[in-house]
Amino acid sequence: MFIFRRLPLLALLLIISGPAYTQNWDVQTVLDRLIHTYGGEKNLRKMDNMVQEWVIVASMGNRHGTDVRSVRAPDQLRVELSYPQKKETRILNGNVGHSVFGDAPPELVTGIQLDAMRLQLMRLYSPLMLRSKIDSISLTEEGDSLALSLAENGVHVHYLVNKENWHIEKVAGVLMMQGRELQFLTEYSDFAVVEGVLVHHKENKFAGGVNTARLQLSKITFDTRIDDGQFKP
């Protein structure tokens, strides 16, 4: 845990990956390879409008609930978190974010809360979405991993790619609050093809090195029609 707090997140992840590797790659080649691995352009366009339904187990208190994510590219996200004693809805519509707790009125969010919503959306970018942002992406290579790094609106996200199977197996995010760096990591596993798209079915989440939640995908719907009202408070 001490190492995680003291080292920059990307540096730590690359150290874990192993020793340096000599082959050179470029961002375009890596993204093209990912697009092919994840199902090709036609299939990946289905992810522009999708709904993911997850079963979640929060580590604190071993609480069981659901996490439903509605995405409409390029910049809209609705997340509904439900536990037996708590319900929260997070809505990101462009640069505007709102949160709703239970039946309370919507609250406008700014600062670190808004950045957290942006990070949630960036985690859901498909390889095709990443390619549309290629001018803002850099690449680091170390051992068996490649890290695609993207910065948007002050939020830095690193997509860790396993070069053996070309799966994105970790997504690391860095947020800043009052000059302090907050680090988040999500591990992806249990990959399988759904309607021509390669999809991970398990997530393991960490915040500051602490395991916060485990998730299992129960359903994913592509090319779904999402009502405009879903992205309004």
Number of domains in the chain: 1
Reply yes or no: is the peptide bond before residue 19 cis, omega within 30 of 0.
Answer: no
Quick one: what percent of the chain has pLDDT higher than 90? Answer: 79
66 found inside a domain: yes
Which residues, 6 or more positions from 94, have their beta carbon under 8 angstroms from its beta carbon?
75, 76
Q: Which residue has the higher pLDDT, 195 or 143?
A: 195
126 found inside a domain: yes
pLDDT band with cut points at 50, 70 and 90 for residue 212: very high
| Mean per-residue pLDDT, 101-128 | 96
Q: Which residues of 199-208 are buried (b: 16+ CB within 10 A; e: fewer)?
A: bbbebbbbee
Sign, Cα dihedral of 21, 23, 29, 32: negative
| Mean per-residue pLDDT, 153-160 | 94
| Mean per-residue pLDDT, 145-164 | 94
Instruction: Specify the pLDDT at position 9.
Output: 56
CATH code where residue 79 lies: 2.50.20.10
The first and second tokens of residue 166, run together, are 């070309």
Lowest average pLDDT, out of 26-30, 109-113, 174-178, goes to 174-178
State how far the Cα of 80 lies from the Cα of 75, in Å rounded to an integer.
Answer: 17
80 found inside a domain: yes
pLDDT band with cut points at 50, 70 and 90 for residue 13: low
Instruction: Specify the pLDDT at position 2.
Output: 26
* For residue 206, pLDDT beyond 70: yes
Instruction: Specify the pLDDT at position 8.
Output: 53
| Mean per-residue pLDDT, 59-82 | 95
Instruction: Specify the pLDDT at position 99.
Output: 97
* Structural domain span for residue 161: 6-231
Quick one: what percent of the chain has pLDDT higher than 70? Answer: 90
As beta bridge partners, residue 79 has: 69, 90
Q: Which residue has the higher pLDDT, 2 or 198?
A: 198
State how far the Cα of 212 lies from the Cα of 97, in Å rounded to an integer.
Answer: 23
1 found inside a domain: no
| Start-to-end C-alpha separation, the chain | 38
133 found inside a domain: yes
Q: Which residue has the higher pLDDT, 179 or 213?
A: 213
214 found inside a domain: yes
What pTM does this model have? 0.89
